[in-house]
């Protein structure tokens, strides 16, 4: 079975690539095959966060009337978007398309599917209001991608799906979760109830696929709820992914640490310097910085442009706006913030760039936990 996952509006590239890495790793030897289609649609979400937080956490049931105040797209809007993507990407009509979108839908559903059971959308923006800040959104989104793939094997149409929804219990894949925060219970239990298991058996769903799905749910449960019991010190890896140099953490399902090119360059530099360097001494390493920055940018820009970018970073720019101060402190802070959002709290201090302004700054982690695939 082939599942096409499309990057829709308001879905940022790092999230999309991390989901692709994660699912392709989980299902590398499975009969479930995922193909990911990136687009250029990403832009800042135009919905105010307060609205999302206060109003979107309760679903509006299908039989309930909607009082539409102009906020939230109809289901048909998403299905039309998907059909357009099918034509643009020339996707086989028999294949499932799952469209990831940051746009709110008018019923506050986490996702839904059309009458053909071939076109499905999943909301990617809501998860940060359901789960703790330390839990990366790629894991619940991946749970939903797998879940909707399985539902297409269980049911012939949305009516049959609705008839089998569990409105009372919250522990199964088919639990309704009127308050969407109850989704945490679904991922915590990673469960498919006996009734749904019987339904899958009656549809003759391949047992190998079922084993792969159950194992993937258990992996997602572990990534969300048992992170402290994972590898004590995960390996951080720098490599080229889809033509871009990025930092990934294989132990967290190849999740990407989202960083701009200059942040990648600075963090890479410090990972190469075990003993640490004073921030005031970074100017001495301009040529090394420029060489790394050129690799990070895949030689897309001239050496002059790369040099100017690095000089602004380390305080060598003659531009009066920078006044010789550089941007190191700000960039260092943003790098550390990105790392803290990915690596679990009790060890992330080992991975950040640490050190006082006048003292050597360094990344403390033992370099056996750093793999440079660009060497």
- DSSP assignment of 158-225 equals HHHHHHT-BSS--SBTTB--SBGGGHHHHHHHTB--HHHHHHHHHTT--HHHHHHHHHHHHHHHHHHH
Q: Which domain holds residue 129?
A: 2-225
φ, ψ of residue 73 in degrees (nearest 5): -85, 155
Strand order in the sheet with 353-354: 277-278, 360-363, 353-354
**Which residues lie closer than 8 Å to 234 by C-beta, 6 or more apart?**
249, 250, 251, 252, 343, 369
- Count structural domains, the chain: 2
Are residue 310 and residue 218 in the same domain, yes or no? no
Whole-number pLDDT of residue 372: 92
CB 360 within 8 A of CB 292: no
Return the minimum-mean-pLDDT range out of 143-157, 200-214, 288-302: 288-302
Q: Which residue has the higher pLDDT, 42 or 236?
A: 236
Percent helix, strand, coil in the chain, to 5, is 45, 15, 40
Are residue 268 and residue 151 in the same domain, yes or no? no
Whole-number pLDDT of residue 70: 54
pTM: 0.79
Is residue 117 in a domain?
A: yes
Whole-number pLDDT of residue 12: 86
Are residue 161 and residue 220 in the same domain, yes or no? yes
DSSP 73: B
Are residue 77 and residue 97 in the same domain, yes or no? yes
Confidence of residue 231 (pLDDT cuts 50, 70, 90): low
Please check the confidence at residue 51 and state whether its pLDDT lies above 80: no
Whole-number pLDDT of residue 238: 94
Is residue 337 in a domain?
A: yes
Which residue, of 225, 253, 285, is where some domain finishes?
A: 225
Q: Which residue has the higher pLDDT, 55 or 310?
A: 310
Confidence of residue 229 (pLDDT cuts 50, 70, 90): low
Are residue 217 and residue 242 in the same domain, yes or no? no
Is residue 231 in a domain?
A: no
Is residue 123 in a domain?
A: yes
Return the minimum-mean-pLDDT range out of 11-15, 50-54, 121-125, 274-278: 50-54
What is the rounded CA–CA span in Å between residue 75 and residue 101? 12
Confidence of residue 356 (pLDDT cuts 50, 70, 90): confident
What is the rounded CA–CA span in Å between residue 72 and residue 89? 26
Please check the confidence at residue 35 and state whether its pLDDT lies above 70: yes
Return the minimum-mean-pLDDT range out of 52-56, 108-112, 276-280: 52-56
pLDDT in tens, 114-128: 999 999 999 998 898
Q: Give me 279's structure tokens.
A: 């921030």
Please check the confidence at residue 228 and state whether its pLDDT lies above 70: no
Is residue 230 in a domain?
A: no
Q: Where are the beta strands (DSSP E) in the chain?
A: 2-7, 33-37, 96-101, 111-113, 119-123, 236-241, 244-249, 255-257, 277-278, 353-354, 360-363, 370-372
What is the rounded CA–CA span in Å between residue 137 and residue 276? 33
| Burial label, 18 (beta-carbon count in 10 A; 0-12, 13-18, 19+) | buried
Confidence of residue 347 (pLDDT cuts 50, 70, 90): confident
């Amino acid at each position: 079975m082939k599942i096409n996952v499309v990057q829709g509006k308001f879905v940022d590239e790092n999230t999309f690539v991390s989901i692709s890495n994660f699912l392709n790793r989980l299902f590398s030897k499975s009969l479930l095959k995922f193909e990911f289609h990136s687009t250029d649609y990403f832009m800042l979400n135009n919905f105010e966060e307060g609205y999302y937080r206060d109003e979107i956490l309760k679903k509006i049931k299908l039989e309930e009337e909607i009082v539409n105040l102009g906020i939230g797209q109809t289901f048909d809007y998403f299905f039309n978007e998907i059909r357009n993507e099918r034509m643009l990407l020339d996707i086989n009509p028999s294949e499932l398309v799952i469209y990831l979108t940051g746009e709110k839908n008018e019923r506050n559903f986490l996702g839904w599917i059309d009458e053909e059971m071939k076109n499905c959308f999943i909301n990617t923006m809501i998860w940060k209001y359901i789960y703790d800040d330390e839990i990366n959104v790629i894991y619940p989104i991946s749970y939903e991608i797998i879940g909707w793939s399985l539902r297409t094997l269980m049911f012939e149409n949305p009516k049959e799906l609705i008839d089998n929804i569990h409105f009372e219990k919250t522990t199964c894949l088919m639990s309704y979760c009127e308050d969407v925060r109850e989704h945490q219970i679904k991922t915590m239990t990673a469960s498919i109830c006996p009734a749904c298991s019987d339904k899958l058996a009656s549809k003759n769903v391949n047992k190998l696929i079922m084993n792969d799905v159950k194992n993937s749910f258990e992996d997602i449960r572990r990534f969300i709820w048992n992170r402290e019991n994972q590898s004590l010190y995960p390996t951080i890896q720098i490599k080229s992914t889809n033509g871009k140099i990025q930092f990934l953490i294989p132990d967290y399902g190849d999740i990407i640490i989202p960083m701009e090119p200059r942040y990648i360059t600075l963090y890479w530099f410090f990972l190469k310097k075990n003993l640490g360097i004073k921030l005031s001494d970074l100017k001495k390493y301009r040529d090394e910085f420029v060489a790394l920055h050129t690799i990070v940018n895949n030689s897309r820009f001239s050496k002059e442009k790369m040099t100017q970018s690095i000089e602004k970073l380390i305080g060598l720019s003659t531009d009066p706006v920078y006044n010789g101060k550089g941007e190191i402190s700000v960039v260092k802070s943003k790098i550390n913030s990105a790392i803290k959002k990915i690596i679990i709290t009790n060890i992330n201090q080992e991975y950040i760039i640490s050190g006082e302004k006048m003292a050597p700054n360094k990344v403390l982690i033992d370099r056996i936990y750093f793999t440079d695939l660009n060497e």
